[in-house]
Amino acid sequence: MKQLPPPWLALAALALGAPALAETGHVGHPAPKAAASTAAPKAALPLRVQNAAIVAVPPGVKDTAAHMVLINPSARAVKLTGVSTPVARHAMLMNTVMTGKMMGMRETKALTVPARGQLALKNDGDHLMLMGLWRPLKVGEQVTLTLHAADGRTFKLSATVRKP
Q: Which residues bind Cu ion (CB under 5 A)?
A: 65, 94, 105, 129
What is the smallest separation between the CB atom of 162 and Cu ion, expressed in angstroms? 16
What is the smallest separation between the CB atom of 36 and Cu ion, expressed in angstroms? 39
Cα(55)–Cα(72) distance, rounded to whole angstroms?
A: 24
| Closer residue to Cu ion (CB): 65 or 137 | 65
| Closer residue to Cu ion (CB): 65 or 121 | 65
Longest pairwise C-alpha distance within the chain: 100
Going by C-beta distance under 8 Å and a sequence separation of 6 or more, which residues neighbour residue 31? none
| Closer residue to Cu ion (CB): 16 or 98 | 98
What is the smallest separation between the CB atom of 34 and Cu ion, expressed in angstroms? 37
Closest by CA to 149, choosing from 83, 81, 90, 85, is 81
What is the smallest separation between the CB atom of 19 and Cu ion, expressed in angstroms? 57
| Closer residue to Cu ion (CB): 20 or 102 | 102
| Closer residue to Cu ion (CB): 71 or 105 | 105
Per-position b or e across 96-114, b if 16+ CB within 10 A of its CB: eeeeeeeeebeeeeebebe
Coil, strand, or helix at residue 158? strand
Q: Are 53 and 64 in contact (CB under 8 A)?
A: no
Q: Which helix (H) or strand (E) holds 75?
A: none
What is the smallest separation between the CB atom of 89 and Cu ion, expressed in angstroms? 15
